[in-house]
Amino acid sequence: MEHLVFMPAGHHLPVGEFEMPAPVPTAEAVLGRYAASDACAAELLCDAHDPNATAFSIIEADLSSEHITYGQLRERSERGAAALAELGVGPGDTVATLMGKSADLVVMLLAIWRRGAVHVPLFTAFAWPAIELRLVASGAKVVITDADQREKIKNTTATIMVAGDQATAKDLALAPLLNAQQPGIPAEAVGGDGTLVMLFTSGTTGTPKGVLVPVRALAGFRQYIELGLDVREDDVFWNASDPGWAYGLYFGILGPLAAGRRTLLLHASFSPELSFAVLDLFKVTNFTAAPTVYRTMRAKSETMPKNLRLRRASSCGEPLTPEVVAWAEEVFGVPVRDHYGQTEHGMIIVNAWHDDVRKDVRPGSMGHPLPGWTCAVLKDGSDELAAVDEMGRVAVSVPESPMMWFTGYQDAPEKTAEHFTEDGRWYLTGDAGKTDADGYYYFSSRDDDLIIMAGYRIGPFDVESVLSTHPAVLESCVIGAPDELRGEVLEAFIVLKKGVTGTEQLVSELQNLVKTQYAAHAFPRRIHFVEDLPKTPSGKIQRYILRKQRASQ
């Protein structure tokens, strides 16, 4: 087993000086630790690390902060695990969290994994129908929620734990539960194939599907932290993404814990001014965020402090536009490097930062596959490799990718089959792209109509399903429309029932319906009332035709 070395908590090098990166183990060496039959998540993520090293710095809106060491995280999470055990939570049981980026969140995540239980993330912008679907599909036994999120949870058989110390007749208060426990509960080892997280993703048809993330996936998450982002032991690392989604959970919590790196969590709503203040006050050296964060920062450049310490800046979610890349290099002193991945894998093709794998960035390229991944572009309609510069389907070679852990969606064999070739040789990402003569990959589009807004993947079907509940709506179609700030926003085309007239009041009603019945961020910014929708002979709506019509206007 390899050994990790940590600086003492609070250790900082003089301004402008950084340690050279340590040699990075091979993909196979890293995988061995996490894929072992006796792999224990609590040990890998917490207990094996220096107890005096800082794991998280939790920052509040007023820029006050709380620093949690690995030792403190172990003690608190052992109390949390004991509390969960009293509630009957054991290996394989599911526990959902509806929480912001707080100390309580990271403590209870480790508590869940310490019990060998499965974490079900719930995004705090979700309304009850989206929450209910995930609770029912996962069979969550317990829901842990912040007090300001509690009112969203309606009817559920799950036990509800509310952060804070105020218990009610229906709920359990988290603080006294933990205080009543003693640390020292043994950590459960579920092995490398044991499930760590059940994270739901959605496509264009059907309901959201559950992705089961095993313990061995930590190997790939760690590789990306160390190679893709080049997070070093002396870095101040900040991933601004929300842990309710894959990039924030995998690489804002799991990856840094696996690598033993300190990371920042901002327990406040996003604003460019607050983000600038965090970068400045906490001397952030390694930063990653969705493109919309950089675009919003660019729009507020006049408020940005001088002399930031960034040495690495990265982005994931959608391709960065050239003007944002140029701006970032001018104001940060470093370029922002694009990275590509999926909920089903984590990050697989990146413009890596680490010296061992770093290559020159080419405009518009998402880089090369990380060690442990073998990718290709396949011709449309066949399993043959596409020619250089030929557009095709981005795919992962299953037998040649030891870091690959995704085997299928929970209880959705038909959906799973869509993503694998018949012989199982290739995993099809559902994205279109190409490669150049030097093996650089270029993303073109998504071929399954997913909308990526500010880094969040939104399935049109989810929003259309909500719109269809309005008594005035006959049918609807939702597409992504280009937006300078968010990358894409939702645009809806709606056929009204006979005798109904489209009005501004109806537009507002439909937007509010989506906000309250699905998610606050996923409402259509523009709504068009149309006579009919383009369809195939079998009746399937052809979203690509509407996108083409929209692009030509």
Q: What is the pLDDT of residues 465-498, one digit of tens each?
A: 899 889 999 889 999 998 888 889 999 999 999 9
Both 465 and 433 in a single domain? no
CB 478 within 8 A of CB 490: yes
Q: How many domains does the chain have?
A: 4
Which of these three, 212, 240, 264, is where a domain ends? 212
pLDDT of 448: 67
pLDDT of 5: 30
**Closest to 252 (Cα-Cα) out of 266, 269, 238, 267:** 238
pLDDT of 202: 56
Whether 57 is covered by a domain: the verdict is: no
Whether 424 is covered by a domain: the verdict is: yes
Residues pairing with 395 in the sheet: 376, 428
Gap between the Cα atoms of 32 and 216, Å rounded:
9
CB 273 within 8 A of CB 293: no
Gap between the Cα atoms of 415 and 344, Å rounded:
13
Task: Find the DSSP H helices in 348-448.
Answer: 413-417
Both 99 and 17 in a single domain? no
List for the chain the helix, strand, coil content (%; round to 5). Answer: 30, 25, 45
Whether 63 is covered by a domain: the verdict is: no
Residues of the chain with pLDDT under 70: 1-25, 202-207, 445, 447-448, 536-540
pLDDT of 292: 80
CB 58 within 8 A of CB 101: yes
Both 157 and 243 in a single domain? no
pLDDT of 266: 98
pLDDT of 322: 78
pLDDT of 390: 92
Tokens 């997070």, residue?
Answer: 231
Both 241 and 196 in a single domain? no
Gap between the Cα atoms of 454 and 365, Å rounded:
19
Residue 270 CB contacts under 8 Å (≥ 6 apart), including other chains: 240, 293, 296
Domain limits for position 257: 1-35+216-364
Whether 202 is covered by a domain: the verdict is: yes
DSSP 8-state secondary structure symbol assigned to residue 103: H
Which of these three, 313, 341, 364, is where a domain ends? 364
Gap between the Cα atoms of 5 and 539, Å rounded:
60
Gap between the Cα atoms of 359 and 351, Å rounded:
7
Both 122 and 24 in a single domain? no
CB 78 within 8 A of CB 285: no
Maximum pairwise Cα distance, the chain = 72
**Single pTM value for the model:** 0.85
Name the residue type at position 515. Answer: K
